[in-house]
Amino acid sequence: MHIETLKIFCDLADLRSFSKTAEKHLLSQSAVSQQLAQLELAHKCQLIDRKKRPIELTKAGQLLYKAATDMLERYEQLKSELNAMKSSTGSRINVAAIFSIGMHTLPDYVKKFMVSYPNVNVHIEYFSADRIYELVLAGDIDIGLVAVPKRDKRLDVYDFEDEPLVLACSPKHPLSHESQVDIHKLQFERFIGFEKDVPTRMWIDNILQRYSIVVRPVMEFDNIETIKRAVEINSGISILPETAILQEVGSGTIKAIGFSNESFVRPTGIIVRKNKLLGQAGRYFIELLRKKAK
């Protein structure tokens, strides 16, 4: 049995769908079926009741699922232990961050870290929040940085920075001359927001709902950089983390205006898989990230 085959079987048991499992592993449904058939042939028993919709594990399948999850967990622990055994000299910390944090907040922390660990490579990649959770849980990434972190029993979640949220608008917009703005002035304004599955979108939606504000969505994007470009050409207003628009504010292409009602913030967090064994450098990097939150 290969580790990858066990992963596919466990995901099939969790997702209860051949199509969703195939999509997650970038395989065809036929390939997933073949992997299952190989397991059933090796153990001479039926593992999944294909007649049920959604599919269900047989009793034999439940036994294998329990054993497989244990084996996979031990295998990930082994990988972590092997990585932790490597010397700090020339080692690497793999970090995944959403684009806004990775580009605008993280660089200062990396600079501070490099003072103490100049020979450690902090490798940063940018992904969507959902992808970061997947990579951290799979053990492919050491540390994840996301906005509006969700709690998961498989993860250790630490507070990072609370980012001030401001009204972002073009200098040509009527609200651009305000020193502070009452959130009620956003009523029925053309609004450029995040797509519905982005955690920050849900966070901002909750703020607007608390104040009974109805905006007119004109554009939705999955990343902050595209939203900024749309705001710059006065396609609409947005609510964005202040740290993510400092460059545009400095160059005069976007106006950042605080709210008079209250200080709105977007929470961010550090996620690490539970029982993840990090070397001394990795542990120091997490403590460095947590210092400001503390």
pLDDT at site 243: 93
Domain boundary among 67, 84, 101: 84
Note the helical H segments in the chain: 3-15, 18-24, 29-43, 59-85, 99-104, 106-116, 129-138, 199-210, 224-232, 246-251, 280-293
43 close to 50: Cβ distance less than 8 angstroms: no
Looking at the structure, do residues 67 and 114 belong to the same domain, yes or no? no
Domain count of the chain? 3
- What CATH number did the domain enclosing 112 receive? 3.40.190.10
Looking at the structure, do residues 27 and 171 belong to the same domain, yes or no? no
Looking at the structure, do residues 174 and 255 belong to the same domain, yes or no? yes
What is the rounded CA–CA span in Å between residue 72 and residue 145?
A: 24
Taking the model in full, what pTM does it have?
0.70
CA angle, corner 263, sides to 259 and 266, nearest 5?
110
Domain boundary among 84, 99, 122: 84
pLDDT at site 1: 57
Q: Which of 116, 121, 133 is nearest to 94 (CA)?
A: 121
Tens digits of residue pLDDT in 151-196: 899 999 999 999 999 999 999 999 999 999 999 999 999 999 999 9
Looking at the structure, do residues 251 and 210 belong to the same domain, yes or no? yes
pLDDT at site 201: 96
Looking at the structure, do residues 176 and 157 belong to the same domain, yes or no? no
Looking at the structure, do residues 189 and 284 belong to the same domain, yes or no? no
Looking at the structure, do residues 137 and 69 belong to the same domain, yes or no? no
104 close to 145: Cβ distance less than 8 angstroms: no
Looking at the structure, do residues 50 and 175 belong to the same domain, yes or no? no
Looking at the structure, do residues 173 and 53 belong to the same domain, yes or no? no
What is the rounded CA–CA span in Å between residue 91 and residue 32?
A: 36
pLDDT at site 289: 95
Torsion, Cα of 211, 213, 219, 224 (10° steps): -20
254 close to 245: Cβ distance less than 8 angstroms: yes
Looking at the structure, do residues 279 and 257 belong to the same domain, yes or no? no
Looking at the structure, do residues 61 and 129 belong to the same domain, yes or no? no
Listed as ranges, residues in the chain with pLDDT below 50 are: 87-90
Domain interval for residue 12: 3-84
Domain boundary among 84, 114, 140: 84
Looking at the structure, do residues 150 and 279 belong to the same domain, yes or no? yes
